[in-house]
Amino acid sequence: MVETTKLGPWVKRFLLEHLVTDRNLSANTQRSYRDTLVLLISFVVKKTHRQADQLLVSDVSPDLVRQFLLDLENSRESSISTRNQRLAALRSLACYIGLQSPEHITWSGGIRSIPFKRFTKSQVPYLEKPEMDALLAQPNRRTMQGQRDYRVLLFLYNTGARASEVAGLCIKDLDLARGSGRALSSVIFLGKGNKRRRCPLWPLTAAELALAIDGRDPGEHVFLNRLGQPITRFGIHQLVKRYVQRIAQDRPLLLAKKVSPHVIRHTAGTHLLRAGVDINTIRAWLGHVSLETTNIYAEIDLLTKARALALCEPNPPRTPKRREPKAGLMSFLHSL
């Protein structure tokens, strides 16, 4: 008889079968779900004083889940957005168990009825063009590491790619123009939901990448660390942070923007919009699933709003010419 009361077997089936086979979620999303369950189970173990392998599905009560979510905000200082993301993973697990096990339908409904917390979205940060230029000018390109860092920053800005996409980029994903007959270079990304997209590259970016991959195997990663291993997402975050700190003394506003690879992604989207690129092209460029996500750039860009406002600004009213009073009869006669 299949054990249905224990939590452990359900968690394993959920992570190894449902997320991979049924939903075909990306590796990053699978890791996010896993991390949520690690945090939850650790919390429930402390509260129930049971071993993790002995936990029952019913031990994860709706009330305990609410306590867990509150603990995320208070103890771990998680944002409301992160709190809601964790809840979404738990609701997905509850839905899966409820569909597979009728005796847990009531429990499943209790978990799924826990509401997401509303919050006010903060303004999306991005860099102005002079700030981005200053960041690109920081790496010392006379050194091997400086050349690598410059290429990473330039590539992030050119493509608006996610840090994970840059870390996982292989040489075979690049299509660099060779000779004068072909002027367009591009790169293929495997983004969220295992969706592929092609992004054009500037000639400058293509030239820098050509130097970086010259003579290397197509299966190798494009960007390597100092040990010759593929650079990680953490390494890219540290790279950006390091150069931002260098220029923050002259540009203190950068510290308030908390510049990260994702801020450079927002910068690319905002600058594309300013350049007149339509919103659907930007959506495809950045690999957004929903156009609503891309619309944030239209919301945040004050310069584009000002230009749009100027286009519909009414012309100032004309000042009516002062009409001279008609001359009287006697004045007319005297003028003859």
Q: Kindly list the catalytic residues.
A: 162, 192, 262, 265, 288, 297
Residues 285, 291, 294, 295, Cα dihedral to 10°: 140
- Residue 215's Cβ-side half-sphere holds a number of Cα atoms within 13 Å equal to 1
Residue 169 to residue 179: CA distance in whole angstroms: 24
3-state secondary structure of 6: strand
Residue 262 to residue 100: CA distance in whole angstroms: 38
Contact 261, 240 (CB under 8 A): yes
Structure token digits, residue 257: 């923007």
Of 32, 6, 35, 31, the C-alpha closest to 97 is 6
3-state secondary structure of 49: coil
Write down how long the chain is. Answer: 336
> Angle at which helices 129-136 and 261-274 pack, to 10 degrees?
130
The letter for the amino acid at 135 is L
> Order of strands, edge to edge, in the sheet holding 174-175?
174-175, 185-190, 196-201
Per DSSP, the residues of 163-215 read HHHHHT-BGGGEE---STT---EEEEEE-GGG-EEEEEE-HHHHHHHHHHHTT
Contact 286, 271 (CB under 8 A): no
